[in-house]
Structure 1
Amino acid sequence: MGWDVLALVDDEAADDRPLIERRAVVRGGFYEMQARTVIERVPPAAGIVQEWAISPYRGCAHACRGCGARAGHRRLGLGAGADFDERIVVRPNVVERLRAELARWDGQELAVGVGGDCYQAAEETYRLMPGVIGALASSGTPFTVYTKSALVMRDAPLLARAGARVAVSIAFVDERIRRAVEPGAPTAQARLELVSALVEAGVECRVLMAPVLPLLSDAADQLGATVRRIAATGARVVEPVVLRLPAGTREWYLEWLGRAHPALVERYEELYDRAGSPSEGYEQRITGQIAQLCRVYGMACGAPEPVRREPKAAQLALV
């Protein structure tokens, strides 16, 4: 079960309101919903190596048009478009539930922040991440935090002590593109500075060059400028991911594309299959170009090997 699949009690069966309206408490503009399960399977469209994730927040104020997590809002009775950007769902009991589930976890690496950036503005109010990091560290579970936000620096000492990885998303450095497709996200320059700060703070940091946007941010000079500026931060690894368009994301992204770049819509329809994956030839060409650029600038390129650690012995007492 979990966030996306919640059993309904009998007295709710006749209630036709959206699930979020029946289960959540609205406070300060956020929807608070108690989680039953917090470790959830990562959807294939995320394009990352971890198979399981924790997301303290569902939805994201960064409003990235290509975000692959948008369909999750539909399962709560919300829209995958503007609702995902504006109606942020909070799991206030995430730390309590996580500790209970980690007592039975097998040591696989977890991703943090797949359903919505775990350091978006809601985190300033709820401060859930220090508890999440503490639970993961005390259990010995390896984890990678995915974020675009400089708020992660607040917890840099905790992350460094926990041996965590942080993946900062920087897909392109063209500010005009950023304003169009990531209107609520920090600028590329702010994220480049964040990578430098994380490296200096001793946090293992990689750059997720994602999503590369076909016909918009994939020209050779654009890729070259992005990799060159990433290299200047001190980052050692780049992980390229080409835009995915799963259900939910596809409709929202193509609706914008039709308004902003109508001549490209037909070409996108040809490039993407029904599942929202780009053609294999195109993806290999783009990731190959980025890999070559990384070699020029002395960085590794590609996804990391998944990490697995044996659970700490202290957990045995909880079984």
Structure 2
Amino acid sequence: MNGFPHAHKGRGAASNPEGRFESIRHHAEDDGWQSLLLDEDAPRPRTEVTDERAKSVITRNDSPDIAFDQALNPYRGCEHGCIYCFARPSHSYLNLSPGLDFETKIRAKGNLAEVLRAELAKPGYVPKPINIGSNTDPYQPIEKQWRLTRAALEVLAECKHPCTIVTKNALVERDLDILAPMARDKLVQVFVSVNSLDNHLAAKLEPRASAPHRRIKAIRTLTDAGVPVGVLVAPIIPALNDKDMEAVLERAADAGARSAGYTTLRLPWELKALFREWLALHAPQRAEHVMSLVQQMNGGRDYDSDFRTRMHGQGVFADLLRKRFEVACRRHGFARARESRLDTSHFVPPRKPSPQGELF
């Protein structure tokens, strides 16, 4: 049964509501009995990782507001626990909660490298940059043990296949031995997401991601190694972290970032209630103001899925954010994050497994 919502140290969600496809709903009521046995006294939610056998790993999209055609996500669910993550509702397809389940019950595609190799070897495959981390972070903490992102990079590097990476974890530095040679061949670009410089806010918004200053340092480390890096100020949450936009862009530029992009908060499906719950716990005095501005940016609703406006919002406040971003980008000489110069001309399909090995 779901308990009463409360903050869990190291976790973003405060509860574990059923997904939208569940037919049974549980609701906790305080009847006055055993009142000392509160949810706060229960053990902290532990991360559970399940090995998932994937049939395919490259997904494709034709959304006009997304800058890539192909994507790869080594994990379903994300231990970072960002309360604003638009991918949370996808856990409902697994009959799991978009709440705590999303950040504690992770699916790892253990056969990712094998399946990726087979897909790249298909006759007629046309190479286009593959984005790694479009849905969940490829460098979330469990990557230290599972190393699936690294396995995917090894396959892509072997095949001279270009990719982009989106992350908010400094663990990306671990793979510089792969990323630096790929960068020399114009095969990789990394985007580091930093939406605030406030460590206290980040610890509540994105509890298991690298601290903001550590992500800035990762930008410098990658840049010094010759890897092109962009910064994503995402998502911008009005009246919560929007004040840091210019400061983030300045720090990222000083660290060597070459391009920049931003998105505003998106609250699809179950995420609406989860985010409101988070506001009530962590920012109660400004919760009403935050949601008022969010609705102003979404045509009067908590979320508007229109492709034309969902990434940056609409209305007066959204226009102000856009102008602020453009001015800061001009000041620091940033290119647009959508501008990619990755090279697909060197792609070499991987060899299919052969009983004769590498003799021929």
TM-score by length of 1: 0.82
Aligned residue identity for 2:213: Q
Among candidates 152, 155, 163, match of residue 143 of structure 1: 163
Aligned CA distance change for structure 1 residues 233 and 182 (closer, same or farther; 3 Å): same
Structure 2 residue 89 is the aligned partner of structure 1 residue 63: no
Which aligned pairs between 1:61-140 and structure 2 lie closer than 5 A? 61-104=79-122, 105-140=125-160
Q: How does 1:298-317 map to 2 (within 5 A)?
A: 298-305=333-340, 309-310=344-345, 312-314=347-349
- Distance across 2 between alignment mates of 1:303 and 1:312: 22
**Correspondence for 1:236 among 258, 266, 269:** 258
Whole-Å Cα distance in 2 between the matches of residues 31 and 316 of structure 1?
Answer: 29
1:21-63 CA-to-partner distances (Å, cap 9, x unmatched) read xxxxxxx831111101111135969x64113211111111111
Q: How many residues align?
A: 289
Instruction: List structure 1 segments (4+ residues) > 6 angstroms apart after TM superposition.
Output: none
Instruction: Give the one of 264, 269, 275 matched to 2:295.
Output: 269
Question: How far apart are the structure 1 equivalents of 2:321 and 2:334?
Answer: 17
| Structure 1: stretches of 5+ with no match in the other structure | 1-15, 17-27
Q: What is the CA-CA distance between 1:119 and the residue it aligns to?
A: 1.2
What pairs with 1:49-60 in structure 2 (closer than 5 Å)?
49-60=67-78
Q: 1:73 to 1:121 in 2, by over 3 A?
A: same
Q: CA deviation at 1:312?
A: 3.0
Alignment of 1:211-290 (within 5 A): 211-219=235-243, 222-259=244-281, 260=283, 261-264=286-289, 265-272=291-298, 273=301, 274-276=303-305, 277=310, 279-281=313-315, 282-290=317-325
Query: Is 1:194 aligned to 2:194, yes or no?
Result: no
Provide the rounded CA distance (Å) in 2 between the counterparts of 1:294 and 1:77. 42
Q: Is the 8 A contact 2:117 2:350 kept in 1?
A: no
Greater share of helix residues, 1 or 2?
1
Counterpart of 1:223, as a letter, is M
Structure-1 separation of matches of 2:295 and 2:335: 32
Aligned-partner residue type, residue 237 of structure 1: S
Tell me which residue corresponds to 1:38: 57
One-letter amino acid of the structure 1 residue matched with residue 313 of structure 2: S
Whether the aligned pair in 1 keeps the contact of 2:264 and 2:313 (CA below 8 Å) is no
1:254-294 CA distance string (max 9 Å, x none) = 22124423322344334324435363234343132112112
| Distance across 2 between alignment mates of 1:183 and 1:313 | 40
Give me the whole-angstrom Cα distance separating, in 1, the residues matched to 2:275 and 2:78. 15
Secondary structure of 2:276 counterpart: helix
Instruction: Output the TM-score relative to the length of structure 2.
Output: 0.73
CA deviation string 1:114-148 (max 9, x = no partner): 23211111111111222201212233322111111
Q: Secondary structure at the match of 1:89?
A: strand
Q: CA deviation at 1:66?
A: 1.2
Q: Which residue of 1 aligns with 2:197?
A: 173
Question: Separation in 2 of the partners of 1:253 and 1:51?
Answer: 29
- Paired residue secondary structure (1:211): strand
Partner SS state of residue 277, structure 2: helix
Any idea what the Cα deviations from partners look like across 1:147-170, whole Å, max 9, x if unmatched?
111211111120122231111101
Task: Decide whether the 8 Å contact of 1:160 with 1:204 is kept in 2.
Answer: no
Is the contact between residue 141 and residue 309 of structure 1 (CA under 8 Å) also seen in structure 2?
Answer: yes
User: Structure 1: how far apart are the matches of 2:158 and 2:269?
Assistant: 37
> SS at 1:88's partner residue?
strand
Rounded Cα–Cα distance in structure 2 between residues aligned with 1:315 and 1:135: 8
